[in-house]
């Protein structure tokens, strides 16, 4: 399938959803941001006015994270709120923000059980949206998006530091139509179209991303067997 056709369908049916989601996080108070990011909550009425908006819907990626995981994440993000703000005030890049959050919740002794690479990215992306710092130079890759990366772009992740292992340089992408999208939308595109096929009406209506691929748990593998995620 010609990638241009896939990109056009993505922009028509899927792009707005992610844009709205990120916009909702950007319009929260800082304390509300930390709470809703930690507990993986998104708005069930994103097009409503800010004062009427409710964050009462669990993010699909993290539907199976345990309360213990979410509580631990909330405790950690609450404890580093000032340090996160200092990153913004020092005009860090998204990649720098991502690496800092990875050090605090995902790597080494700070690893929170149940936080996989997708939850790490989503956490950084939502906080980045609030800070107006989104991925620019690198496309972050996880699970389904990695399938799309290999199938559509014939690229693979590299071994090395966490950025090499979980993202690719935008300069490695040669498709002009795809490069018209921001890096965070390219990640979403690669997940949606990892099979290289246009989506039918029912698929568009019921589309679901991959569930967080935490290597310490079995939930994703169970979900795959039940046909609950891609």
Task: Count the alpha carbons within 13 Å of 164 in the hemisphere toward its beta carbon.
Answer: 4
- Say if residue 112's pLDDT is above 60: yes
Tell me the percentage of the chain whose pLDDT exceeds 70.
Answer: 89
Q: Could you read off the pLDDT of 48-62 as tens digits, one per residue?
A: 888 889 998 888 888
For all residues of the chain together, what is the average pLDDT? Answer: 88
Segment 201-210 mean pLDDT: 70
What pLDDT does residue 46 have? 86
Q: How confident is the model at residue 209 (pLDDT cuts 50, 70, 90)?
A: very low
Rounded Cα distance, 72 and 74, in Å: 5
- Say if residue 25's pLDDT is above 70: yes
Residue 105 near residue 111 (C-beta atoms within 8 A): yes
Nearest to 69 by CA among 41, 44, 92, 38: 38
Q: Which residue has the higher pLDDT, 187 or 229?
A: 187
Q: Could you read off the pLDDT of 133-156 as tens digits, one per residue?
A: 999 999 999 988 999 999 999 999
């Amino acid at each position: 399938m010609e990638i241009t056709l896939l990109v056009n369908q993505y922009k028509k049916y899927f792009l707005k959803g992610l844009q709205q989601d990120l916009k909702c996080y950007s319009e929260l108070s800082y304390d509300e941001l930390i709470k809703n990011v930690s507990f993986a909550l998104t708005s069930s009425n994103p097009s409503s006015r800010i004062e009427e908006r409710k964050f009462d819907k669990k993010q699909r990626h993290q539907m199976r994270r345990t309360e213990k995981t979410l509580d631990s994440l909330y405790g950690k993000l609450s404890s580093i709120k000032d340090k996160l703000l200092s990153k913004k005030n020092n005009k860090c890049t998204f990649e720098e923000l991502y690496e800092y959050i990875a050090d605090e919740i995902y790597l080494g002794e700070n690893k929170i059980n149940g936080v996989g690479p997708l939850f790490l990215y989503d956490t950084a992306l939502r906080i980045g949206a609030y800070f107006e710092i989104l991925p620019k130079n690198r496309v972050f890759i996880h699970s389904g998006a990695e399938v799309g990366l290999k199938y559509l772009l014939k690229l693979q992740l590299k071994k090395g530091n966490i950025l090499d292992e979980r993202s690719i340089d935008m300069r490695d992408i040669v498709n002009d139509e795809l490069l018209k999208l921001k890096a965070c939308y390219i990640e979403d595109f690669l997940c949606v179209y990892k099979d290289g096929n246009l989506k039918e009406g029912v698929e568009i209506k019921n589309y679901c991303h991959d569930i967080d691929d935490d290597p310490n748990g079995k939930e994703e593998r169970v979900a795959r067997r039940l046909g609950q995620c891609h």
